[in-house]
Amino acid sequence: MTWPAPPDPITLNPDQIHIWRICLGQQRLADCHPCLSVAEKIRADRFRFDRDRTRFIQSRGSLRYILSRYLGCSAAEVAFTYGEYGKPQVSHDPTLAFNLSHSEDLALCAVGYGQRLGIDLEYLRSLTHFESLSRRCLCDSELKVIKTLAESQAQQQFLQYWTCKEAYLKALGCGLTQSLQSVEVQLSPTPQLLSPSVEGNWQLKTLDPDPGFVAAVVSEKKGQITQYEWHLPT
């Protein structure tokens, strides 16, 4: 599965959201590492396993290159400030909203203007202690749906619920400091965040980034979603 290549130059209107798919294994470390900040390089060095260090460098470097296309600067010149719970914001232009998520060798980046955004990506896997995990993370309405499904389908549905909930909490800027049960999700017939647990008129979209993955993006405004494939410049 390949997403379309982006136009050059790229334009982003206020009523648009761009989703970038990043195949981490295709991103060259020799390009990604030099553009990281000193703090990011220190963070990379703290990873215990080479695989995790490599994925961090590839995802963070790719994020910098992507944002630089909107900002009109080099990847190394992209600077961030951080919220109370660590959510980054572009220093150059705080109206340029973005969020990044990665799982295994895949990453997704959402970019928009003038709104809060959150995206989450999960690799489909067998979950240990699935029943207790479901009771801890899902609302009653979601548990009822899960209980009607075979185990493999139930686990995939759980992970889809998870991506929707986490994407919303990431958009708020609090991440998993807030309980997943504080967010109620309806996936069928149309994905949506349900009130009163969720305040505001948020847009929820589920994504199909690659076989074996589920993902969701949440935006404060309703807008057209366009998907692009990221490749480092040659």
- Per-residue pLDDT, 169: 94
- Per-residue pLDDT, 135: 95
- Per-residue pLDDT, 200: 81
What is residue 120's three-state secondary structure? strand
What one-character-per-residue DSSP string does 80-104 give? EEE-TTS-EEESS-TTEEEEEEEET
In angstroms, the CA 193 to CA 57 distance is 33
Q: What string of pLDDT tens digits covers the 234 residues of the chain?
A: 679 999 989 999 999 999 999 999 999 999 999 999 999 999 999 999 999 999 999 999 999 999 999 999 999 999 999 887 788 899 989 899 999 999 999 999 999 999 999 999 999 999 999 999 999 999 999 999 999 999 999 999 999 999 999 999 999 988 777 889 999 999 999 999 997 778 888 999 999 999 999 999 999 999 999 999 998 877
In angstroms, the CA 25 to CA 102 distance is 12
In angstroms, the CA 5 to CA 209 distance is 15
- Per-residue pLDDT, 115: 94
